Structures are given as C-alpha cells and as structure tokens.
A = this chain, B = another copy of it.
Amino acid sequence: MRIAIDAMGGDHAPEVNVRGALLAAEEWKDVELILVGDAERMKPYLSDAPSNVQALHADEVIAADDEPVRAVRRKKNASMVVAGRMVREKQADAMISAGNTGALMTTGLLIIGRIEGIERPGLAPVLPTLDGNGVLALDLGANMDASPEHLLQYGIMGSIYRQRVHGINRPRVGLLNVGTEEMKGNELTKAAFGLLKNGPIHFVGNVEARDLMQGTCDVVVCDGFVGNILLKTMEGTASGIMSALKTEFTKSLWSKLAAAVLKPGLSAFKKKLDYTEYGGAPFLGIDGVLIKSHGSSDAHAIKNAVRQARIALQNELVSSISTEISRKRDVKE
C-alpha cells in the first residue's frame, strides 16, 4: 500500500515528517511511503532512507495562515495538493498531513472528492476519556451547520471507523445533547434522534457533554460548530487548570517539594488528557484515507499516523463506508 505524506505541513516540518516516515518504513515493510515536499530541505534527513521511502519534489507550501480555499486553488504544486492529487489519481491509497486544517479539508473535498452518497465529510479526532479509550467525535469543524441526515452519516462513518481501525465490536454511538431524554435538544438534535435510532448503528441515545470524559460512548456526533466548542472548551479548561495548578505548586518551598514527588504521575496524567496522543484525526467521507496530524506533531506522531492509515487500508475503511451508505440509499429508493 502506498501512503503520501505532506512533508511540509506542521510546526516542525520537514524534519519530523521525514524522521517519522523513516521510523514507519522501518517498522512496516508492506508500506511504501512517498514524502512530498521541498527536495533540498528534505535531503539532510533522508541519507539512511530504507527502500520503501521515496521523495517527490513539490516546490510550493501552504502556510498555516493561508486562506484554505484560495491556497488550494492557487498553489497547484503545494506539497499538500500534490499528495491529494496522488490519492485522486490512485498513485497513493492514503495521505497524511500535519498542515493547515482548513486547507487539508479543502484538499479532501476539491482534489480527492467525496465518497458517492456522502453529503458532508466530517473531521473526527479522538477526544480523551478517563478510561483511556477515548471517544471519536465528529464533526469537529468541517461543516459548521449540519442537517439531521448529516448527523446520521457521521454516526455511520464514525461507527465503521471505530470497528475497522480500533477493533471495537459494536461501537456505541451517542448524540451530543443537553439532556439524555429523547425529547431534549434543539431542532437539529430532535430531528436527528429518530434517524439515528433507526440507523444501521448501535445508537445509545443522547449523551451530555459532562459525561463524555467518563467514556459513555465510543462515537459522539454533533454539528461542526458545536464540536468545535466542545473541543476548545475541553482544551481551555484543561490547560487553565494545569496552569493554575502550576501556580499553586510553586507557591512555597514545601509545595515545590511536594509537587516534585507528584511530578511523574502528573506528567502521565497530562499525557492522558492530551488528545494529540490519540493519533491523527481521519477526515471521514473522503474517497481515500486522509489523516490530519496535529500541527505540533513530532516524528512519533507522524509514525502513528502511518500506523492509522495502514490499519484503515488493511481493513478497507473507505469501501466499507461506501457499501454501507449505498445500501442505505438502496433501501430508500
């Protein structure tokens, strides 16, 4: 299987992208990796590259602050766009990027294209839970406004991803809502409830934001606006608490000593809360495997994204989604 890596995306590109690719290529010999980016800048890290790693020169780069749609349309030779084109033209089966999220979603939509029958692809990171299993949340920002039908498709795609990539047998799908009772919610969630209930998924009903961290479901669906609020509130609250704790812990000599004793536990715990530890976010509904790695990814994170893409390919993620969606449409017609 062939996986294209946008070597120029992310805060530490291209170094960590190349190093991560080398680590992955060493570990999985059945994978062929194509690093797309500035050949000159990649070169210093490629001296010991194994035979299943190639470099493909692309002379443009999409920056973190580029306006997504314009950048993808104009920079036709950007590393991200070239990687996307490889997937569309079946020269690669999957692509990975740690670059501009908006531009990557645009690349997915405009360059690679959607699976037939999917109205809106959704970005689906795994959010941290206390039990360490995480919860796949979608959509987290690809589409601000959603219809009930979109939420159903998110549920189906998320469920298939959890099965195929994480090996969860009968993933519990929840609808993010303001209460657990069936009649709760806004117009969108009230209308989506019935669709999800009758959908080809293991729907466990409404779930409240406050219970998500307890691991009440394996997949949670919401529109992209609400998903963004959820993710950013988690991040803001966690980082606010952590910085305030740090202040408490450095108040006196005694508290500094005490904090030193607790430090290893705290670090392990901080890692558990860090959703970037759970791997990249798949952009589900695109006609190819597309993994968004966090901008702050290190080589280890890039390697993990390759692992994710590899499992998704081995277990035929895209064709499973396609089959399920077309089956649903056949029933309708």
Contacts and interface: CB of A to CB of B under 8 A. Distances in A.
A240 B258 contact: no
Interface string A191-233: 0000000000000000011111110000000111110111011
A235 B178 CA distance: 13
Interface string A69-90: 0000000000000000000000
A251 B176 CA distance: 34
Contacts of A1: none
Contact of A251 (B230, B237, B259, B265): B265
Contact of A178 (B130, B144, B178, B186): B144
Interface stretch (A11-19, A110-118, A266-274, A317-325): A266-274
A261 interface: yes
Contacts of A235: 210
Contacts of A245: 266, 269
Nearest to A243: B130
A185 interface: yes
A168 interface: no
A236 interface: yes
Give the interface centre of A176, A208, A239, A262 by most chain B CB atoms within 10 Å.
A262
Nearest to A254: B261
A238 interface: yes
Contacts of A40: none
B232 A213 contact: no
What DSSP secondary structure best describes chain A's contact surface?
A: helix
Contacts of A251: 265
A238 B237 contact: yes
Contact of A244 (B130, B178, B244, B255): B130
Contacts of A225: 178, 185-186, 189, 226
A255 B265 contact: yes
Contacts of A230: 229, 233
Contact of A145 (B186, B223, B269): B186
A107 B230 CA distance: 31
A155 interface: no
Give the interface centre of A211, A233, A235, A255 by most chain B CB atoms within 10 Å.
A233
A48 interface: no
Interface string A117-133: 00000000000001000
A144 B186 contact: yes
26 contacts: A178-B224, A178-B225, A178-B229, A178-B232, A186-B224, A189-B225, A208-B232, A209-B233, A209-B236, A210-B233, A210-B235, A210-B236, A210-B239, A211-B236, A212-B236, A214-B240, A225-B226, A229-B229, A229-B233, A233-B234, A234-B237, A237-B241, A248-B265, A248-B269, A258-B261, A258-B262
Interface of A: 130, 141, 144-145, 176, 178, 185-187, 189, 208-214, 222-226, 228-230, 232-241, 243-245, 248-249, 251, 254-255, 257-259, 261-262, 265-266, 268-269, 272-273
